[in-house]
């Protein structure tokens, strides 16, 4: 009788251990998948071709990198001196509170806003349109 009770207890204990091991293995596999997914290339270091940019967007990226990147990280929602711009057009409002439209973005670039200097004398109309095309890819 005592042996039978012990066998049942051991069997239940082993079953519990197998279940715990399965859960731990699944958690480890999930963590590994998340780590691998996070190991993708940083978009900021990718080429225009790797990002799938067309000629207009690639020109806009160069203008952006020249005038905007030092304050506004393109592929981040966190900023340096100004806000990061990833997903800027996917939100209803810009960080300034204006609606997220090309008109308002152009207005902010050309005239400046708050601490942001004006760039109306630095960029021409084509560069501005190219930059807007690029911003839509973020």
Per-residue pLDDT of the chain (138 residues; tens, 9 = 90+): 556 655 555 556 556 556 755 664 554 444 444 444 445 788 888 999 999 999 999 999 999 999 999 999 888 888 778 898 999 999 999 988 999 999 999 999 999 988 899 999 999 999 999 999 999 999
In order of 21, 73, 75, 86, 133, the CA distances from 95 in angstroms are 47, 14, 15, 12, 19
Residue 14: the pLDDT is: 58
Distance in angstroms (rounded) separating the CA atoms of residues 101 and 84: 17
Distance in angstroms (rounded) separating the CA atoms of residues 120 and 86: 23
Residue 28: the pLDDT is: 47
Residue 76: the pLDDT is: 86
112: left (phi over 0), alpha (psi -120 to 50) or beta: left
Distance in angstroms (rounded) separating the CA atoms of residues 70 and 82: 9
Residue 20: the pLDDT is: 58
Distance in angstroms (rounded) separating the CA atoms of residues 36 and 46: 18
């Amino acid at each position: 009788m005592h042996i039978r009770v012990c066998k049942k207890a051991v069997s239940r204990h082993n079953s519990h251990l197998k279940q715990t091991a399965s859960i731990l293995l699944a958690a480890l596999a999930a963590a590994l998948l998340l780590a691998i997914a996070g190991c993708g290339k940083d978009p900021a270091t990718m080429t225009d071709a790797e990002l799938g940019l067309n000629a207009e967007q690639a020109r806009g990226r160069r203008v952006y990198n020249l005038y905007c990147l030092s304050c506004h990280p393109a592929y981040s929602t966190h900023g340096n001196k100004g806000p990061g711009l990833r997903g800027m057009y996917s939100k209803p409002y810009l960080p300034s509170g204006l609606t997220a439209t090309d008109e308002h973005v152009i207005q902010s670039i050309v005239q400046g806003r708050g601490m942001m200097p004006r760039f109306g004398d630095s960029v021409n109309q084509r560069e501005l349109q190219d930059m807007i095309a690029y911003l839509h890819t973020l």
